[in-house]
Structure 1
Amino acid sequence: MAAVARPRFNESGIELFSRKIGIFLFVVKDPAKRNSRNRTAGTMETKPIQSVTKDITRACLIEKVLPAIRAKWPASNSNNPTFLQQDNARPHIGNNDLEFIEAARQDGFDIRLCFQPSNSPDLNVLNLCFFREIQSFQYQKAPKNVDELVEAVERSFDEMKAKQLNHVFLTLQSCMIEVMKDSGSNNYKVPHLNKNGLEREENLPLQLHCDIGTVNKDLALFQQ
């Protein structure tokens, strides 16, 4: 499970907010039951959790993700609602999970769960950047066991730069606009915004704007 937010910078371009909340692995450490060519019996082995259930997901959110958000979130915004978006995988807990809601309201925070629209992978920041980076890094390193795979995943997360993540949030906005243009469909291509060029020219926008005609058209569809 990985959690990221959009980076924040001051007018001089200095990063103000650690945008990478954390990456949390679904693995366990178990002693090896038998001797083998690579290790002796009793050696601790890293093994993936074979079935990630709602209970496991809830525990990860409450015990790991929420504390990481509280530790890294800008104090000035801790009282504002913070939305933690999940995709639609079956092990994810519902928005109204009482145990999560109670934990999410601690220390003055207001953290709420929400789901991305179904069948819309481009509306997931992790799909747009991090998961692709993991795959690329994994192919380069060719891990031979779970420990090496864990190292590759964590290193990929650590090496993701704020500039790259900021660009991806703009791509997310462009995908939202394309979805609206297509009346809610996903029959579009991810736009290319030349973000690197705009950044060199110091013209990279903070947010993209959607044509009011498109907004009104989609509002009419909702009303129908």
Structure 2
Amino acid sequence: MSKSTIHRRLKEKVMKRVSNELKSSLPEANKKARVAYCLENLEPSSLEDNPTFKASFNKVHLDEKIFYRTRKTQKMYLSHREEAPKRECKHKNHIQQIMFLLAMARPRYDSQGNCVFDGKIGVWAFVDWVQAQKKSANRGRGEWELKPSSSVDRNKSREYIVQYVLPAIKEKWPGSDRWNTVYIQQDNARTHVLANDPIFAMEAAKGGWDIRIVNQPPNSPDCNILDQACMREIIKHKGSMHYDTPHMKKKTLERLGLLSVRLTVDKDYVDAAIEYLNSP
């Protein structure tokens, strides 16, 4: 078919342009683990009538994010009297990057709609204090300087959780929920702290707190607690990743007063997912 024909068909809306994303191929065991995880996030008392996801107010989502110090090409807005800054580096394919650890929970509001807890636990950069190997214009040889960590392993992850994440949770967590269990949810990266790590358990229990680590299913970045709409799609598609990422338009729903605290899923999909889990 010629390009001009395709162009006309697009104008007539007989054809449409879509973005086709390459998805991961998951084994059956992995799919069932994804379905089981999503079903566990449903309120047991709601399964008979209107399956509803848990509010998840007792979970802290923990994840990493990598940022580059600069970009190869960067758009800027300048006045007619300004000149574009001269940016340079030794090699454009080796721009320094730094990793951050982020912890976030679900915000809470009172009966008047006022935010009583914004859910922002903290953001921390993975950095190390190292001694300068050479003398430069900024420092002498052997002086200490702060640099991004060259690697992040399980020991580094444990250090940051113990030194930063746990104290931040204990400081900022709502007092009304002080004596309930708090779950730190993370994905299954090899560098993450194990759920039964003894050092974490000892530090988490200080002060009478009950803080535990839970992991998402393998190969499931879409199973984080911040996006239950994806978990609903996982239940519908029986663990498959072949679904379009849902867009709930929360701002619009909030403006219309239709934004709900709880997300529901069709009972027929839940029944089919349970039957799929019980199948050989």
Amino acid at match of 2:257: E
Q: Specify the alignment match of 1:41 in structure 2.
A: 140
Tell me by how many angstroms 1:44 deviates. 4.4
1:27 aligns with 2:127: yes
Greater gyration radius: 2
Distance apart, 1:216 and its partner CA: 1.5
TM-score (norm 1): 0.74
How many correspondences in the alignment?
178
| Counterpart Cα distance in 2 of 1:12 and 1:201 | 17
Cα distance, 1:121 vs structure 2? 1.6
1:69 counterpart SS class: helix
CA drift of 1:66 comes to 0.7
Q: Which residue of 2 aligns with 1:117?
A: 217
Matches within 5 A, 1:169-188: 169=226, 172-188=227-243
* Equivalent-residue separation in structure 1 for 2:139 and 2:160 (angstroms): 31
Give the superposition deviation at 1:52. 1.5
Give the conservation status (yes or no) of the 8 Å contact 1:18–1:72. no
Q: Does 1:190 align with 2:261?
A: no
User: Which residue matches 1:161?
Assistant: none
Shift in Å at residue 54 of structure 1? 1.3
Instruction: Note the C-alpha offset of 1:86.
Output: 1.0
Higher relative contact order (CA 8 A, sep 6+): 2
Distance 1:209 1:219 in 2: 16
Aligned AA (2:169): I
Structure 2 CA distance for partners of 1:40 and 1:103, relative to 1, 3 Å: closer
Task: After TM superposition, list the pairs within 5 Å mapping 1:1-224 onto structure 2.
Answer: 1-36=101-136, 39-42=138-141, 44-124=144-224, 169=226, 172-224=227-279
Distance in 1 of aligned mates of 2:132 and 2:115: 44
Aligned-pair RMSD on alpha carbons? 1.7
| Equivalent residue letter for 1:40 | R
The unaligned stretches of length 5 or more in structure 1 are 126-168
Alignment deviations for residues 137-193 of structure 1 (CA, whole Å, 9 cap, x no partner):
xxxxxxxxxxxxxxxxxxxxxxxxxxxxxxxx3xx1100000110101111111111
Q: Which amino acid aligns with 1:213?
A: D
Residue equivalent to 2:5: none
TM-score relative to the length of structure 2: 0.60
Quick check: 1:173–1:207 contact (8 Å CA) kept in 2?
no
